[in-house]
Amino acid sequence: MSDDEADPELLALLRQHLQGKPPINNDPETGVLESAEYVYNNSIDVALDMRASKAAATAIYSQMQQKAYSPATWSEHDLHPKAEGGPDTVAFIFTMDLLNFCFWSELSEEKRFAIEYRGKRWTGYWSLVAALQRALDEVYLKFRRLIIFIFYIKGIPITDPHFWQNEDEFTLNVLRNVFRSCTDEEIPLLKERLDCLREAGNVLYDKYKCHPVNLIAAADGSAARLVNLLARDFSCFRDEHGFDGRKKPIRLLKRAQILVADLWACFEGEDFGDFWDIDKITMFADYRVPQMLNSMGCLLYSPPLDSAIRSKKNIPSGSNWELQLRACSIWCVELIRREILTEHPEAEINAILIDFFLYDTIKEMELNGQDKILHHRTRSIWY
């Protein structure tokens, strides 16, 4: 190219700048960690205790080593699907994380929403997984109008996007039956769960040949790209919020990230779980891990926020308090991860495993009646 000719790459960058469009990036970032750090740096109601976080890193790593904690731990639970299921397992995980939000109850353990399945009573997140597994096991009666025949089909096709789009067959009452409780309490936000399934079915049909395996293929092996595709194409995965007048939205993307993490864990980093940048996934900002971090002394709350949590007041979704709780939890786990790697450079550790471990630990404490610190209460589809 002569000195008189324009450089086409420079021209493309100039056009993108003038049009306000970011340059194409072949190494995608989710923006979640950047958002978390920003909120942490501007937080006035949630703080991190660095000494406690450093001690937590030591304790967490030691306990994870003792328990041989790894991605394989995810599949050891009876209810979780197994990698052998291939595309069917991908469909299950997609459905599971599409609906993975808001299980807390104001009622006692005996009266709260619960699912009976395989001779056990399941609550919280496990009630969702149990309900989906139960639906797939049950006989589904499929009626055809003006025809007297009834077609008996094994299992309610609750993980099939084609089913979600069919407004005649897949109704709120059908979903209510899928999530029927062994108590008098209904699963929270039932209508919102139907809306999530309906929207996801339409998007998958329009863009991904009606199956999430094609969505994974579109990410081309990048965990961050898959998160971004989920947030771009599915409004029900777009966990973004305004904060303190900042023009750029705060991205937390809990369910989009945990979907990627569940695929990675289930398939142990191979096949549908093979992501070259899996370590870009952060902790999944919900209400359980902040509860655990607070109990360990890592997260500290202002007196008004602490009082609101202890008195079980509703903290609105997207409020400054809620965003500080979630974002500072992400940043805290990131610092714990960095501390572990500083002390143990050879450790195979990321934010996903730390999150999974903290969640499992708080659930064990709950079963043993040891979880005395309350979690914040927010009704939301985001977690």
For the stretch 318-324, contacts whose Cβ atoms lie closer than 8 Å and that sit 24 or more positions apart, written own/partner, are 318/241, 318/242, 320/45, 320/243, 320/244, 321/45, 321/376, 322/376, 322/378, 323/39, 323/241, 323/243, 323/250, 323/252, 324/39, 324/43, 324/44, 324/45, 324/46
- Rounded Cα gap, residues 101 and 284, in angstroms: 12
286 belongs to the catalytic site: yes
In angstroms, rounded to a whole number, what is the distance separating the alpha carbons of residues 179 and 88?
A: 20
Of the candidates 97, 233, 262, 286, the residue annotated as catalytic is: 286
**Phi/psi at 275 (5° precision):** -125, 125
| Cα–Cα dist 4/163, whole Å | 60
287, amino acid identity: Y
CA 231 to each of CA 31, 104, 206, 259: distance values in angstroms, whole numbers, following the listed order = 11, 25, 16, 12
Q: Which residues are catalytic?
A: 286
